Amino acid sequence: MNFGIETQRSFVDTWECDENDHLNVQFYWQRFGDAARIFSHLANIEFQPWTDRHVRYHGELRASANIVVNSAGVSDKGLLVHRLVNGSNGELSATAVDRYENAVVPQDMRCCINEVPDEALPRSLPEEALSIINTAPLLERGTGLVSHRSVIAPAECDGDGNLLDRGHIARFSEAAAHLWHHCGMRRDFLQTRNLGSVAVEMKATRHAIAKSGMMVEVTSWLDSVGKKTFSFRHQVHDVESGSVLYCGAVVALLIDQKARKAVALPDDFIQV
């Protein structure tokens, strides 16, 4: 597919794969982060961090797979779209749409497309930015939980001490395991049934810049439950100030690890 300009080329290492034996979501976001920076240079525009990114996961990437990312600005909307494929066979693995505080408008039209492709449009998550909510009632009712606590390390940040894309989503990935356990999908439950829990769509909205040395806390809660998919939210707070740094929304499902196909959610899955 002829799409924008090539902005990233890499390889899936075994240590980047999770318990489902495929590339973990944080490393997709790392590639998109690299692609955005390289696009800015190649398109001769000033780099800026995204305020909002929407990602759809279309296909799995296993260890040793090649990765190629192409990126393009949407000429009349000021968005940046990334298309990540398996470089060995050209199959689409993920798409991302970045929104910025100041619109991205490349002067070179070879870097542009006219509209966001259907494959990158939101399916189950809102197009607008994720708003901050008061999570205290969720914690009091037990429908939400503190799912992650950590300190942002310098190795997770760029040269200015700002948290890189991978570090944002690594916290979602670790928080999700605690939320699934809270909802009855314990690791032993999944393993005995040869099931895996995977994200198919994800969105993050940045409300402040997360910096090296910050102590952060994630609150997570279920948002909706269907027959095969469920959605949940994350909200990341700076422990010291209490302010919200960024929010996330995820649509996930269970897969049969052998067939690599989605299965129905268990009957005793917690409802919201």
The pairing of beta strand 79-86 with beta strand 112-113: unpaired
Quote the CA–CA distance of 185 and 52 in Å, as a whole number. Answer: 29
Give the mean model confidence (pLDDT) for residues 95-120: 88
pLDDT band at 107 (very low <50, low <70, confident <90, very high): confident
Q: Which amino acid is at 152?
A: I
Does 272 have pLDDT greater than 60?
no
The arithmetic mean of pLDDT across residues 32-50, rounded, is 94
Sketch out the chain's domains with CATH numbers: 1-121 (3.10.129.10), 125-272 (3.10.129.10)
Sign of CA dihedral 158, 81, 60, 9: negative
Confidence of residue 153 (pLDDT cuts 50, 70, 90): very high
The whole-angstrom separation of Cα 19 and Cα 21 is: 5
> Cα 260 vs. chain centroid, distance in angstroms?
21
State yes or no: pLDDT of 63 exceeds 70: yes
pLDDT of 37 over the 50 cut: yes
Residues 119-124, mean pLDDT to the nearest whole number: 96
